[in-house]
Amino acid sequence: MVLPENKQKTDKNRSYLESFQFAFEGIRFAFKQERNLRFHFFTLIIISLAGWFFSISRMEWLVLILTFALVILMEMANTIAEWTIDLITNHQYHIIAKYVKDVAAGAVLIATIFAVIIGAIIFIPKILEWL
């Protein structure tokens, strides 16, 4: 993606406000471009509704919030790896590029598997009780 010339900035941010502005722009751009991030966010809303429905404890909310953060952060790290590799390789095949992208994807998978396990530990007993 090429920005108009007056928007292309490569020097250091001069204020905290400017740093926040670009950080939010990064979050917004990642969500716009990455389908998986939108999917994780959708899951976060559904699980939060389930947490509210089953009146989960404060401790369970803490674990869930940490898990949401872990999965979303891993997905953003994966996006950083993918875009950096595409920038460096210009979409040409390189074995190291493959390793970097596959390891980054593996990290997301591991975070997701643990998130599913945590969700199951919290919700399965509550669902069984509710049935």
Ligand X SMILES: Nc1ncnc2c1ncn2[C@@H]1O[C@H](COP(=O)(O)OP(=O)(O)OP(=O)(O)O)[C@@H](O)[C@H]1O
Q: Please report, in range form, the residues annotated as the binding site for a divalent metal cation.
A: 34, 82
With binding defined as CB under 6 A, does residue 82 bind ligand X?
Answer: yes
Tell me the closest approach of the beta carbon of residue 103 to ligand X, in angstroms.
9
With binding defined as CB under 6 A, does residue 126 bind ligand X?
Answer: no
Q: Per-residue x/- mask for ligand X, residues 31 to 60, rule CB under 6 A?
A: -----x------------------------
With binding defined as CB under 6 A, does residue 98 bind ligand X?
Answer: yes
With binding defined as CB under 6 A, does residue 89 bind ligand X?
Answer: yes
Could you tell me which residues come within 8 angstroms of residue 38 by beta carbon, excluding any fewer than 6 positions away?
A: 31
Rounded Cα–Cα distance for residues 104 and 102 (Å): 5
With binding defined as CB under 6 A, does residue 105 bind ligand X?
Answer: yes
Instruction: Assign 3-class secondary structure to 82-97.
Output: HHHHHHHHCCCCCHHH
Binding segment (CB under 6 A) for ligand X, from list 1-9, 52-60, 101-109, 114-122: 101-109
Q: Is 25 a catalytic residue?
A: no
The residues that are catalytic are: 75
Residues engaged in binding ligand X (CB under 6 A): 36, 78, 82, 85, 89, 93-94, 97-98, 101-102, 105
